[in-house]
Amino acid sequence: MPESRFALSMDAYELITRNVSEVVTEDEVRALAEDPDGKRAYVGYEPSGVLHIGHMLTANKLIELQEAGFEVVVLLADVHAYLNGKGTFEEIRETATRMQEQFVAYGLEESQTEFVLGSEFQLDEEYVLDLHALELETSLSRASRAMAEIAGGDTATVAQAVYPLMQALDIVYLDVDLAIGGMEQRKVHMLARDTLPSIDADSPTCLHTPLIADLTSGVGKMSSSEGLSISMEDTESDIEEKVNKAYCPPTADPEPTDEGEDRENPVLQIFEYHVFPRFGEVVVDRPEQYGGDLHYESYADLEADLESGELHPADAKGALATYLNRLIEPGREKIREQRSD
RNA sequence: CGGACCGUAGCGCAGUGGCCGACGCGCUCGGUUGUAACCCGAGAGGACGCAGGUUCGAUUCCUGCCGGUCCGACCA
């Protein structure tokens, strides 16, 4: 099992905000970091049958928060998934349990993790009335702008306008001190900060994790619905193949495309946000003819070597596939069990 | 409710009453590069929104429906 070696060597604030794209607000998080024990952090996920690399990215943050002393609440957002057109309620609920088991297999500490099904409290009268109160405070265009990065279909529905307001309310009802989400969630969280005071609740403190770029182009963000994405149901050879297909110029700062779109190096991003946070050390298995194995103790060293040419992208990819496979293996095993039931 | 425009491969779009429905991006395969991208070569993929009608024949004309976009004080 991967272990973090950072828990003891970093101060709490550093650990809590490590690898995040945005801290809202720094002062609020510093206050939490002063005494993290027993503080509650949460992420909501629309249940899906299989964890993918995006789920794992926020889960990495949850694991770090647990190391810092936080209690973690994972909301299995069945009602949200339903509102976002992800299937019938029955189908969605079916996947929630599987998802929970996969999170534990991935490395969330079971004793410090509270899994909550959204429908357990989101249909209560009090919740619904509070929700209507928020609806009264929120313009349709604000709600749909907040949903733009999350919405599944191409048509905005009324359900999708309600969705972000429920997220805001969840933060109150789950009694959490810190809301975690990918950068695609930031508008929803900002809406929550603006709106919750109208029902006498506090504006939530938020951390947003980065989004990993599309694997084959480096443009935009990786999506589980299009292009290549990595999930726990990938076999070892799937992973090798996908990583090998990844866009990987020998730099951390690739040139924009001809159309002027920014590009990232997704291979490096995965090292930074997935591999190093979960493994203390990375060994790149390199053929003798190119100089033999390389050892890295930090992401920055690996990046510097790729940049200088010391580390060839092909070797970096080989190592990435190896470590991704190690990360995914426990979840892969769990999925195998789930499917043989 | 009223009006305008639109609905053609995964996406963006061209086009014609009958002749192979074009192009760009994407995708697949091969070449090149110790990865990928770029580049080169070869491919796959479409009941031309649905239902009627006109016609010898409709994807192209007409009607209805469904779906989408925009407009609806005055002026123009």
Question: Following DSSP, what letter does each residue of A268-291 receive, concatenated?
Answer: HHHIIIIIHHH-S-EEE---GGGT
Show Cβ contacts of residue A151 under 8 Å, excluding neighbours closer than 6 positions.
Answer: A84, A144, A160
What was the pLDDT predicted at A3?
A: 46
Q: How far apart are CA A108 and CA A209, in angstroms?
A: 17
Condensed to tens digits (0 to 9), the pLDDT of residues A66-82 reads 999 999 999 999 999 98
At residue A5 the predicted structure's pLDDT band, cuts being 50, 70 and 90, is very low
Q: Does residue A50 reach within 7 angstroms of strand B, measured from its CB?
A: no
What was the pLDDT predicted at A247?
A: 93
B chain positions with any atom within 7 Å of a protein CB: 27, 34-37, 67-69
Distance A112 CA to B58 C1' (A): 67
What was the pLDDT predicted at A1?
A: 44
CB A183 within 8 A of CB A228: no
Residue A84 has pLDDT above 60, yes or no: yes
**CA A99-A100-A105 angle, 5° bins:** 95
Q: Does residue A315 reach within 7 angstroms of strand B, measured from its CB?
A: yes
| Mean per-residue pLDDT, A100-114 | 93
Indicate the SS3 state at residue A125: helix
Nucleotide nearest to A216 (CA to C1'): B36
What was the pLDDT predicted at A255?
A: 86
Q: Can you give the length of chain A in residues?
A: 341
Condensed to tens digits (0 to 9), the pLDDT of residues A140-179 reads 878 888 887 787 666 677 888 899 999 999 999 999 999 9
ipTM above 0.90, yes or no: no
Q: Does residue A30 reach within 7 angstroms of strand B, measured from its CB?
A: no
Condensed to tens digits (0 to 9), the pLDDT of residues A204-227 reads 999 999 999 989 888 888 877 677
Q: Does residue A246 reach within 7 angstroms of strand B, measured from its CB?
A: yes
Residue A274 has pLDDT above 60, yes or no: yes
Q: Which amino acid is at A227?
A: G
Q: Does residue A242 reach within 7 angstroms of strand B, measured from its CB?
A: no
Q: Does residue A295 reach within 7 angstroms of strand B, measured from its CB?
A: no
**Residue ranges of domains in chain A, CATH in brackets:** 12-209 (3.40.50.620), 236-340 (1.10.240.10)
Residues 252-271 in A having a C-beta less than 7 A from any atom of strand B are: none
Q: Does residue A25 reach within 7 angstroms of strand B, measured from its CB?
A: no
Q: Does residue A247 reach within 7 angstroms of strand B, measured from its CB?
A: yes
